[in-house]
Amino acid sequence: MRHHLRWLSAVLIALLLPGLHAHAEGLRFAVSIPRSVSAEPVTGRLVIVIAKRETPEPRTTIGLTGPMIVGVDLEQLPAGETITVDATAQSYPLPSLNDLPPGDYFVQATLIRYSQVRRADGHILWVPTQHRRHPFHLLPGNLYSKTQKVHLDTRAPVPARIELTQTIAPLEEPKDTEWLRHVRIKSKLLSEFWGEPTYLRATALLPRDYDEHPKSTYPTLYAQSQERTKPYYFDPDPASHDADLRSARAGNVQTGHEFYQSWKSDGFPRFVVIVMEQSSPFFLEAYSVDSANNGPYGRALTEELIPHLEKTFRLIPQSYARIVQGASTGGWESLALQLKYPDYFGGAWIFNPDPIDFTHYQLMNIYKDENAFALANSVFSSAERPMRRTVEGQVTHTFREVARLEAVLGSKGRSGFQFDAWQSVHGPVGADGYPAMLFDKRSGVIDKQVAQYYRDNGYDLTDYTRRNWPTLGPKLIGKLNFFSGEMDNFYLNLAVYDFQAMLQATQQPHYPGRFEYGRPKQGHNWHLTNFTDMIREMAVHVTKNAPTGADVSGWNY
């Protein structure tokens, strides 16, 4: 009997060895956090970056055109313990870590740290709470490793070892200057929603001679979702002429110093330009509206931040003097603010907005299409759905690829990237407290109940405007100005066409709005002209709509 058992054991070992050997092979990383860095257990998203270049730091180059990345969740990992990351982890752009060709690479890991919050709706979540207008992998408090050169080969039996020894320092608060002033307030509404102190910030660009005229009041341009805290790249330094910006924006947009020269010149309208910072735990921007996942950001801006700014900077507290403008995310925000608060704002300049009609959610119709990744042509064939293109029409990224990137950067809608941003704003809360996904990140299957929620709750802005036109329309006359390139890189012009068609069909009142598409091959972030001419145009609009008897001589000269 003992002889038979020895023989059976030998057979079982022989049968199992191939599987054991296959598991032992493959790329693996052994990642640890020294107790000296964090004495407490750590929760967050661990992302390992594998690059071919040492500089810039691999962790700073994460993105659609960036290096290979893999990601896993850490849930209360005890200090000092090691976690092994292998080919079972989510990866981008290659489907698997084991698809990486053998060779020498520069490897760096970063941990997007999460904190626990007890939200007002009763859900307990783990989310980034040091959120600011920064990519989540670059937020202060995150841990990261030093870059190391490693030879990687799927046949290597020993995992590469990585220690997260570094911490991203807190962001420096911007300093006030002659032209720029900064504000930070605690939002009562958002703090109650998130169960912890939540802040709103703003940067104010002041007109020339602002301090010399302490009794003057000014109209306000709310510049939504600016890429920098300096409105329109405002820069008094002639050495920082932003020549690269000029070429990147096809000549339509001024450099920061050119805008400064206009801003301080004689005869230029004296506005105050405000950039509001409204980052949420799910994205760099909360999209200026109330939502089930992010909280009451629309109310917080209109009931808390803007009244505070009006008192602080002597802004005219009337709708005719409040103008909103933005591009891309800021374009959606500007239209949403004008539509949701039609009596509060006096005009919107909307450039290449994020999808404003969800029959063209880029190239997807969320109500009719079954899959976000592919369009079925027949029973036996389908076409990949593009997400990004050049102005010549060359596809650079697909929906599937972007979804894979997001799946690496964060689970449960916490990637801090574009699709997750929209889903957190537009969608319902899932059973686990995190945003319910419009489509599955692996299969692309669209959840029709979630899609219907988008429409029913007013985030499809074309549908919202159409349904509410009898009461909304009279308040929008003369206020809507749209600009979109015919070859928007993200196909956002398609939803603008839909909104235009809806306005052209309006009755009682009929208001077709204003739509400009520019010359051929205009891509994303095309503007009607430059910032100087745009603000001059806004000044004419504000003057025209000022109440009878209003003194406009103090700022419109």
Residue-wise pLDDT for 307-365, tens only, equals: 999 999 999 999 999 999 999 999 999 999 999 999 999 999 999 999 999 999 999 99
Whether 555 is in a domain gets the answer no
For the segment 34-93, what is each residue's pLDDT rounded down to a tens digit? 999 998 999 999 999 999 999 999 999 999 999 999 999 999 999 889 999 999 999 999
Most confident of 223-227, 254-258, 266-270: 266-270
What was the pLDDT predicted at 381? 74
- The verdict on 347 and 268 lying in the same domain is yes
Q: Pick from 365, 335, 289: which is nearest to 462 by CA?
A: 335
Whether 127 is in a domain gets the answer yes
Final residue of a structural domain among 456, 473, 493? 456
- The verdict on 372 and 435 lying in the same domain is yes
- The verdict on 324 and 473 lying in the same domain is yes
Whether 348 is in a domain gets the answer yes
Instruction: Characterize the bridge pairing of strands 42-51 and 103-113.
Output: antiparallel
Buried-state track 68-93, b at ≥16 Cβ within 10 A, e below 16: bbbbbbbeebeeeeeeebbbebbbbb
Q: Pick from 191, 135, 177, 145: which is nearest to 50 by CA?
A: 145
- The verdict on 333 and 428 lying in the same domain is no
Long-range CB contact pairs, 36-39, < 8 A, 24+: 37/79, 37/143, 37/164, 37/165, 37/167, 38/79, 38/143, 39/79
- The verdict on 55 and 150 lying in the same domain is yes
Final residue of a structural domain among 393, 422, 456? 456
Whether the pLDDT of residue 98 is over 50: the answer is yes
What was the pLDDT predicted at 42? 96
Whether the pLDDT of residue 485 is over 60: the answer is yes
What was the pLDDT predicted at 430? 98
Whether the pLDDT of residue 515 is over 90: the answer is yes
SS3 136: helix
CA distances from 309 to 183, 189, 203, 274, 432 (A): 8, 17, 10, 9, 37
Whether the pLDDT of residue 557 is over 70: the answer is no
Whether the pLDDT of residue 247 is over 70: the answer is no
Average pLDDT score over the chain = 91
Written as six digits, the tokens of 275 are 């950039």
What mean pLDDT do residues 520-527 have?
Answer: 88
Residue 548 to residue 416: CA distance in whole angstroms: 47
Decide which of 239 and 500 is more confident: 500
Buried-state track 25-63, b at ≥16 Cβ within 10 A, e below 16: ebbbbebbbeeebbeeebbbbbbbbbbeeeeebbbbbbe
What was the pLDDT predicted at 129? 80
- The verdict on 208 and 333 lying in the same domain is yes
Whether 3 is in a domain gets the answer no
Give 105's strand partners.
Answer: 150
Q: Over pLDDT 90: what percentage of the chain?
A: 81
- The verdict on 338 and 439 lying in the same domain is no
Whether 91 is in a domain gets the answer yes
Residue 473 to residue 502: CA distance in whole angstroms: 12
What was the pLDDT predicted at 252? 61
| Residue 138 pLDDT class (50, 70, 90 cuts) | very high
- The verdict on 203 and 351 lying in the same domain is yes
- The verdict on 511 and 371 lying in the same domain is no
Final residue of a structural domain among 456, 473, 500? 456
Written as six digits, the tokens of 183 are 């504000």
- The verdict on 366 and 352 lying in the same domain is no
Whether 240 is in a domain gets the answer yes
C-alpha dihedral, 531 to 532 to 536 to 539, nearest 10°: 60
Whether the pLDDT of residue 13 is over 50: the answer is no
What mean pLDDT do residues 430-440 have?
Answer: 98
Read off the CATH number of the domain in which 516 is found.
3.40.50.1820
- The verdict on 367 and 406 lying in the same domain is yes
Give the domain range for residue 428.
359-456
Whether the pLDDT of residue 15 is over 50: the answer is no
What was the pLDDT predicted at 14? 39
When mean pLDDT is compared across 6-10, 202-206, 268-272, 423-427, the lowest value belongs to: 6-10
Q: Look at the chain and report how many structural domains it folds into.
A: 3
Decide which of 13 and 485 is more confident: 485
Whether the pLDDT of residue 516 is over 80: the answer is yes
What was the pLDDT predicted at 498? 98
What was the pLDDT predicted at 11? 37
Q: What is the DSSP letter of 403?
A: H
Whether the pLDDT of residue 1 is over 60: the answer is no
- The verdict on 315 and 206 lying in the same domain is yes
| Residue 105 pLDDT class (50, 70, 90 cuts) | very high
